[in-house]
Structure 1
Amino acid sequence: MDSREVRAGYMDAKVGSIKIHISELKIGMFVSKLDRDWLETPFLMQGFMIESLDDIDTVAEYAEYVWVDAVKEEWVPPETRAVSGSPIAKAKSYVNKVDAQQEHRAALGVYREARRLTKSLLDDARFGGVINTEAAKATVKDCVHSVLRNPDALLWMARMRNEDEYTSEHCLNVCILAVAFGRHLGMNESELEKLGLCGLLHDVGKMRVPQELLNKVEPLSEKEFNMVRAHATHGRNLLMSSPGVPNVAVDVAYSHHERVDGEGYPRKLKASGISDYARIISIVDAYDAMTADRCYSRAIPSTDALKRIFQDRGSHFDERLALEFIKCVGLYPPGSLVELVNGLIGIVLETNNRFRHLPKIIVVMDLIKPLEKEQVISLEEVEQRKLDKTYLIKRALRDGSHGIFIREYREKGLVFRY
């Protein structure tokens, strides 16, 4: 938590950075650079606020000198300030009620049914029907209950893609990711259900856009691009005509492509006109799209997607929410494909909240020699027991690297059998 007092209507603006010794680091300082490559540390990127003494101790393990931003107060006009009542301040803290292995069994059924229902909902919208709101709410409720028990299992399934069913899987994945993010933010169960419904229905307007445009590989003309952009308006209209859809879901369908700098669409809203729910879905929507194969672009690793969100904070995305989302997703979210220093390729099964760079993985390939058998490894246990630095993760890979696709492991029956 930033210890500086902030006056209403003012915000801190960076005016350069200064180099200091780690002994001078204090709570409330923003570290913008380390004296070593960030890839050699467990930090996701160079740029984070010191919020506790534990943060200082952690930085001290990896750096002797750091660069911190010098700041001054800057007046922010009311029309560009963040709206009040932000869910960023944690109202509730959650702990995992079951381990990921146990929840995976329950989550598999939840995911399969949610996937079937999402496709059905979008098909109804495509053929001129209205949204089955009660079925959508029931599906979201099941997803919320799974995420509240342990988010890793459902997040793992959200990484399993089928390019031919991009829109329906994207809507479901945004729902799941948004609920997990809302849990991280401390939103209560009722708020999580509203947020999840917003994610599930945010792109429903694309069902009123010609499918050949959505699937076009070549660059769109200006006219075609405007037709695709119109999905936000189509979504608002469709949801307004569907009984029982809450106003917040209508707003998110209409506003999830707005930007806090006022350069978004369809209305070029300034920050104060964009709801917190729309800001959250905007970030999650972009992240899921970047990490998925689409007909016109290939997926990028999670770490690269988070770097882009970090770079676009304060212009495209709400800055505070963007930073919180990066913390929530972490270095290697469930379902990530990673390469270790020793040449092993693994799929992340379970995150490690204490040591984010040392998750639990299943090894599926060896780049050095033939793999004798697939095995589950806790990188934290390996490092603590053997101090073997070759078991550190070298880099994150995109789904499909080395011919490894997460969905194929679902089809082979990988269901956390360890």
Structure 2
Amino acid sequence: MTDFRQVKAGFYDKSKRSVKVPVGELRVGMFVSRLDRDWLETPFLMQGFLLESQDDIDTVIDYCEHVWIDAVQPKWVPPEERGNIEGPRRKTTYINKISAQDEHRQAMGVFREARRLTKTLVDDIRLGGTINNDEAKATVKSCVDSILRNPDALLWMTKIRNQDNYTAEHCLNVCILAIAFGRHLGMSEAELEKLGLCGLLHDVGKMRIPPEVLNKPGKLTEKEWKQMSAHVIHGRNLLLASPGVANAAVDVAYSHHERMDGKGYPRKLKSAGISEFSRIISIVDAYDAMTANRCYAPAIPTTQALKIIYKDRGTHFDERLALAFIKSVGLYPPGSIVELKNGLIGLVLEGNKRYRHLPKVILLNQGSEPLQKEKIIDLAQIEAGKLSKEHLIRDTMPDGSHGIFVQEFRNKGLVFKG
């Protein structure tokens, strides 16, 4: 049987050959390439996935009788190109201390203050100052405290965007997303604070990039690209010049655009030379950037961003961490705008731990036309036979699609639950 640790580390390549097998014969380490039913009817995000645990196998058994698995062939990978086979051991198991609804009351205040402090930090750097390490650490600490109580409240607030302050809000979002991901990985509270600081400060070097280059809507020239890519060097230098900044933050600012296959910048490091924190921030940075409106590209849906991360696992991103990140984000996070198969448009109110593809949704539109009356439906009723499969989610859309903005619903007092 194939050793899953080697598959994840890149020792094996999937061939195009696939074999139909009963679900009772599935084993951890197999790659499922096809199901005996529509993918939309299952909680699997990717059309093709590795079975990482017995829980994955049990979920397949719940939905299918047969699946097709891809055979694998051995391939030698030099040591310097390998990722971590085992990965860090989970050290801490967290439980939510309070409900998402109760945490919302505190999280909004945390988010507003963190956003204010992050903008001040970025503006100070833009004006030639150095990093206020105490303020940065205080910002991160407040985010860690909220996420340890219940991550869902602060996570959906990362969907609230202001394009005029993109860099500052991106830095804060990466901080929040990284802390939540670290919690999912079982990091200690001290590690979460260090990781959050790395996320908050990873892009500070962009404040040394000329605004006409940083905010250019079109394609960059070769000269402009060299200026833009130098933000990692500026970031390293800024952090080195700022008293008390953790070495990990300096490393991440310098290395978060390195790639596992050695095709990143500035040093073209291969996987063995890239730190764990840099690998994490690389994934989170890409995810938040892709799901936001940028001056040169519109936002893409959450599911599409996760599919890109999945596709680029093992080349751009650390494979083990990419798969873990996809699991931590989930199929349809609260605050996601979704389109159902019947054309109805809605907003995800609450996730479903058992049926990840069947959340609670508030229906708002039929296509581009607003409904006369908003209605909340529980898509888990599909499993009970009380809703038709036409209510399955077809796709997700970026914030603002069909005139639907998460911020407006938050202003009305709507609370999203994880």
Distance 2:34 2:416 in 1: 38
Instruction: Give distance in 1, aligned partners of 2:86 and 2:331.
Output: 29
Q: Is the 8 A contact 2:381 2:387 kept in 1?
A: no
Give the structure-1-normalised TM-score. 0.91
Structure 2: distance between partners of 1:77 and 1:263: 16
Aligned match of 2:124:
124
CA contact (8 A) 2:140 2:196 kept: yes
Structure 1 segment 245-394 matched on structure 2, within 5 A? 245-367=245-367, 370-380=370-380, 384=384, 386-394=386-394
- Corresponding position of 2:172: 172
Report whether the alignment pairs 1:13 with 2:4: no
Amino acid at match of 2:301: P
**Match of 1:32?**
33
SS of the residue 1:371 aligns to:
strand
Counterpart contact for 1:155–1:335, Cα < 8 Å: no
Q: For 1:307, give the aligned amino acid.
A: K
What are the ranges of 5 or more consecutive residues in structure 1 without an aligned counterpart? Answer: none
Contact 2:292 2:299 in 1 (8 A): yes
1:52/1:82 CA distance change after superposition, 3 Å? closer
Asked if the contact 2:171–2:203 (Cα under 8 Å) also holds between the matched residues in 1, the reply is: yes
Cα displacement (A) at 1:73: 4.1
3-state DSSP of counterpart to 2:87: coil
- Mark the CA change 1:199 to 1:213 in structure 2 (over 3 Å): closer, same or farther: same
Verify: 1:76 aligned to 2:77, yes or no: yes
Deviation at 1:317, TM superposition (A): 0.6
CA separation of 1:368 and 1:85: change in aligned 2, threshold 3 A: closer
Alpha-carbon distance change, 385 to 372 in structure 1, aligned in 2, over 3 angstroms:
farther
Residue aligned with 2:338, SS? strand
Contact 1:346 1:362 in 2 (8 A): yes
Equivalent residue, structure 2, for 1:95: 95
Task: For residue 386 of structure 1, give the secondary structure of its aligned residue in structure 2.
Answer: coil
- Residue in 2 that maps onto 1:163: 163
Shift of 1:51: 3.7
User: What's the secondary structure of 1:70's corresponding residue?
Assistant: strand
* Partner AA of 2:80 in structure 1: E
SS in 1 for 2:12: strand
Q: Quick one: distance in 2 between partners of 1:274 and 1:52? A: 27
Shift of residue 400 of structure 1?
1.6
Displacement of 1:68 in angstroms is 1.8
Q: Secondary structure at the match of 1:68?
A: strand
CA 1:84/1:369 → structure 2, altered by over 3 Å: closer, same or farther? closer
Distance change in 2, residues 1:26/1:92 (3 Å): same
Tell me the TM-score normalised to structure 2 length. Answer: 0.91
Q: Mind listing any 5+ residue stretches in structure 2 that lack a counterpart?
A: none
Q: Which is worse superposed, 365-374 or 339-348?
A: 365-374
2:63 is paired with a residue whose SS is coil
Could you tell me how far apart the structure 2 residues matched to 1:303 and 1:294 are? 18
47-56 vs 262-271, greater mean Cα deviation: 47-56
1:169 is displaced (CA, Å) by: 0.7
1:354 deviation in Å? 1.9
Shift of 1:254: 0.4
Aligned length: 414
**Which AA in structure 1 matches 2:352?**
N
Aligned residue for 2:112? 112
Kindly report the root-mean-square deviation, in angstroms, between the aligned alpha carbons of the 2 structures: 2.5
Task: Report which stretch shifted further, 238-247 or 340-349.
Answer: 340-349
| Cα displacement (A) at 1:342 | 4.2
- Where in structure 2 are the equivalents of 1:185-200 lying within 5 Å? 185-200=185-200
The alignment status of 1:406 with 2:406, answered yes or no, reads yes
When residues 361 and 103 of structure 1 are mapped into structure 2, their CA distance, relative to the original with a 3 A threshold, is farther
Q: Deviations over 1:226-256 (max 9, x none)?
A: 1011000000000111111100000000000
Instruction: Name the CA distance, whole Å, in 2 between partners of 1:197 and 1:319.
Output: 23
CA distance in 2, matches of 1:74, 1:370: 54
Runs of 4+ in 1 over 6 A off after TM superposition: none
Contact kept? 1:171, 1:202, Cα under 8 Å: yes
Give the distance between the partners of 1:110 and 1:28, measured in 2 at CA. Answer: 41
SS of the residue aligned with 1:395? Answer: strand
Cα deviation for residue 390 of structure 1 reads 3.9
Secondary structure of the structure 1 residue equivalent to 2:283:
helix
Give distance in 2, aligned partners of 1:318 and 1:118: 28
Distance 1:408 1:385, change over 3 A: same
2:6–2:85 Cα contact (<8 Å) kept: no
Shift of 1:181: 0.9
- Go from structure 1 to structure 2 and tell me whether the alpha carbon gap of 1:131 and 1:25 turns closer, same or farther (over 3 Å shift): same
Tell me, in whole angstroms, the C-alpha distance in 2 between the residues paired with 1:180 and 1:365: 31
